[in-house]
Amino acid sequence: MIQHLLHINHVSKHFGGNVAVSDISFSVDEKQIFGLIGPNGAGKTTLFNCISGFYPVTSGDIIFDNKTINNLRPDEVCHMGMARTWQRVKPLGSLTVLENVMIGAFSITSATREAEEIAIEQLGPVGLTDYAQKTAGSLSIGLKKKLELARVLATHPKMLLLDEICGGLNHTETETILGIIREVRNKGATIIFIEHDMKAVTAICDWIVVLNSGEKLAEGTPEEITENPEVIAAYLGGGHNA
Amino acid sequence: MKQITIIAFIAGFAALLPLAIGENPYFIGVLISVLMMAALSSAWNILGGYAGQYSFGHAAYFGAGAYTTMILISRFNINPLVSMVAGIIVACIIALITGSIVFRLRGHYFGLASIAVAEIVRLSALNFDFTGGAQGILLSDVSLWGLDLNSKLPFYYGMLLVLVITLGITLNLRKSKTGYYLQAIREDQDAAASLGINLSFYKNKALLISAALTSVLGSLYAVYIRFIDTTAVLDLRLSIEIILTAIIGGVGTLWGPVLGAVLLVPLAEMLRSNVLGDVLVKQGIVSENSGLGVFLKENLAHAHVLVYGIITVLCILYMPKGILGLFRRKK
């Protein structure tokens, strides 16, 4: 059997009678950059919330690193080596950029000095070094997205869940972020990537799963997905223009 | 200058203050109230200011310390220091029960529950026999290490010591993992949880530290006054004064609560003892026999709660980060 880092096994999530995610299964291999795409309301973020421990699943299993993590709290999931970013950014507004990233680093060290060193290391690649002493709340949206990325990287995760990390960024900023993601993967991390920007997704992902109305519509390589008629219909013909 | 140096400097100044003003019991009494409120508000600030969990019922922990100490000394003749430790344990048990239930919930539930718990403690103390019911507990005699406990000085230095310890803990906390985690929880609980912070563990930790310090102050106060009842140590008004002192001084800052206490306690004292009215009359600004003079003489003494209220409203409108917030550099 192939070693999967993450295995989603028939996962469903209902809110009352509303089915947000319905019987989804897929596996993510180590060191993969894995794309999760779909129109608005397809259930991508809901699935992220289930995987990262914020929502309990209604049925099914989520297996990470050979352990079932369905019933773990978000902080326990983080300590297992899975870190997530937020589509609607959540900066710790009155703390400085450096302190924000230090809080991520505290999940792997208890020493303030060491957390600071790890945090400073993470600021460079995302281009936030000059902003280290600014309060996080004062940053622009683009910089806040970069802060989200630096903060989760400071937890030294095995797996990164990135929820529209490029949303609202311009072309150059997107390129920077994609570059960082590739580099993180080359260092051994696995990445799941939710994105609307098809260009970004096809440029970077090894494997893509398409969700539509809470169900899995298709999966395959970027080439297979872009040529799949059902996917094209969901994106262009279903009235959910992305 | 490093904060720790500032703490040492101010503590040294405060320690010498009684020598400078002589043993005037009235002034020492006011200073004890200032130190106590500064320490209470600083202890509250660890939970409310840093972790962002507003407790509206800190009187419960103050009362737990006060009652436990008084019962153990007056009924069982137990050493005051041992009674104080027992008070800490009782306060921590109340805190743990409250926290472990309520901290699972987000939002304002903790604030609401803290009022409910404080009221439960108050009503219990009012209705049980072993707490003296409505009559309270009177302590006729107490001794420790041959100190003159009829003098106010031991309590002045006791309060000062607890204040310095509280500020030391806050300072140490601020630059530690726990302190950063508490601030992360205050800023955004989802982000905090996703970065590996066990929310209820750290909230409970902050509550326990805060409750333990508050209970020590309750014990000190009880032995100092030698009489307690529910109005003196368990009243909602006390909880609110603690919060207002922190808000007016500056929530979530090291010195805010101290500044709040230094300004508000003497102000309340002046209003209560009608110093302000007397000054107005003596300066000839208001004639003693005029309508206004009579009105002030009769009513100004009751006005300190009103003045607190007005200051709070002004504070929230014009300086939501408190007096200290005005002086903080914007980054």
Query: Across A106-110, A166-170, A237-241, B146-150, which has the greatest mean pLDDT?
Result: A106-110
Q: Is residue B213 part of a domain?
A: yes
Spatial contact of A193 and A35, defined as CB atoms under 8 Å apart: yes
- Mean pLDDT across chain B: 86
Within-domain flag for B320: no
B157 inside domain: yes
Kindly state whether residue B77 falls inside one of the protein's structural domains.
yes
Coil, helix or strand for B72?
helix
The answer to whether the Cβ–Cβ distance between B194 and A95 falls below 8 Å is no
Report the largest interatomic distance among the alpha carbons of chain A, rounded to a whole angstrom: 54
| For chain B, counts of helices (H) and of strands (E) | 16, 2
Q: CA of B204, closest CA in chain A: separation in Å? A: 16
Amino acid in position B41: S
A122 shares contact with chain B (CB less than 8 Å): no
Q: Is residue B314 part of a domain?
A: no
Best residue of A54, A75, A107, A159 to probe chain B, by most B CBs closer than 10 Å: A75
Determine the residue of chain B that is closest to A149 in CA distance: B195
Q: pLDDT at residue B331 above 70?
A: no
Contacts of A167 (CB under 8 A, 6+ apart): A87, A145, A195, A196, A197
Q: In A, residues 131-150, which contact B (CB 8 Å cutoff)?
A: 133-135, 138
Q: Which of chain A's residues have a Cβ under 8 Å away from the Cβ of B190? A: 54, 74, 86, 90
What pLDDT does A242 receive? Answer: 42
DSSP letters of chain A?
---EEEEEEEEEEEETTEEEEEEEEEEEETT-EEEEE-STTSSHHHHHHHHTTSS--SEEEEEETTEE-TT--HHHHHHTTEEE--SS----TTSBHHHHHHHHHTTT---HHHHHHHHHHHHHHHT-GGGTTSBGGGS-HHHHHHHHHHHHHTT--SEEEEESTTTT--HHHHHHHHHHHHHHHHTT-EEEEE-S-HHHHHHH-SEEEEEETTEEEEEE-HHHHHH-HHHHIIIIISS---
Q: Are B41 and B214 in contact (CB under 8 A)?
A: no
Q: Which residues of chain B are within 8 Å of residue A79 when distances are taken between CB atoms?
A: 196
* B193/A86 Cβ within 8 A: no
State which residue of chain B sits closest to A96, comparing Cα positions: B331
Q: What is the DSSP string of A139-194?
A: S-HHHHHHHHHHHHHTT--SEEEEESTTTT--HHHHHHHHHHHHHHHHTT-EEEEE
Domain membership flag for residue B195: yes
At A239 the pLDDT is: 47
With beta carbons under 8 A apart, name residues in chain A contacting B184: 92, 95, 103
User: Which of B187, B195, B331 should be substituted to probe chain A, the one whose Cβ sees the most A Cβ atoms within 10 Å?
Assistant: B195
CA distance A73 to A15: 19
A130 touches chain B (CB under 8 A): no
Distance from CA of A75 to the nearest CA of B (A): 4
> Cα-atom radius of gyration of chain A, to the nearest Å?
18
Please tell me which residue of chain B has the smallest CA distance to A75. B196
Query: CB–CB of B187 and A94 under 8 A?
Result: yes
* pTM score of the predicted model: 0.88
**pLDDT tens figures, A30-56:** 999 999 988 888 888 999 999 999 999
Q: Which of A76, A90, A134 sits opposite B190 (nearest CB)?
A: A90
Cα–Cα distances in Å, from A124 out to A109, A121, A130, A169? 20, 6, 9, 19
A209 band by pLDDT with thresholds 50, 70 and 90: very high
Does B318 have pLDDT greater than 60?
yes
ipTM summary value: 0.89
Q: Residue A212, CB half-sphere, CA atoms under 13 Å: how many?
A: 17
Split at pLDDT 50, 70, 90, the class of A240 is very low
Q: Is A120 on the interface with B (CB under 8 A)?
A: no
What is the percent of chain B with per-residue pLDDT over 70, rounded to a whole number?
97
Mean pLDDT over A209-226 rounds to 89
Residue of A nearest to B252 (CA): A94
SS3 state at B330: coil
Number of domains, chain B: 1
B331–A135 C-beta distance less than 8 A: yes
pLDDT at res. A174: 87
B interface test, pick of A90, A151, A155 with most B CB neighbours within 10 Å: A90
**Whole-angstrom Cα distance, residue B318 to residue B328?**
15
Question: Is residue B267 one of the residues assigned to a domain?
Answer: no
**B190 CA to chain A: closest CA distance, Å?**
8
How many contacts, defined by CB atoms under 8 Å, are there between A and B?
87
For B111, other C-beta atoms within 10 Å of its C-beta total 15
The pLDDT of residue B330 is: 45
| Domain range enclosing B174 | 3-236
CB contact under 8 A, A103 and B195: yes
Three-state SS at B281:
helix
Q: State yes or no: pLDDT of B44 exceeds 80.
A: yes
Do residues B195 and A155 make contact, with C-beta atoms less than 8 angstroms apart?
yes
Q: Of the segments A5-9, B179-183, B241-245, which one has the largest average pLDDT value?
A: B179-183
Q: State chain A's mean pLDDT as an integer.
A: 89
From A105's Cα to the closest Cα of chain B, the distance in A is 9
Could you tell me which chain A residue has the CA closest to the CA of B190? A90
State both tokens at A42.
């397809």
Looking at the domain assignment, is residue B258 inside a domain? no
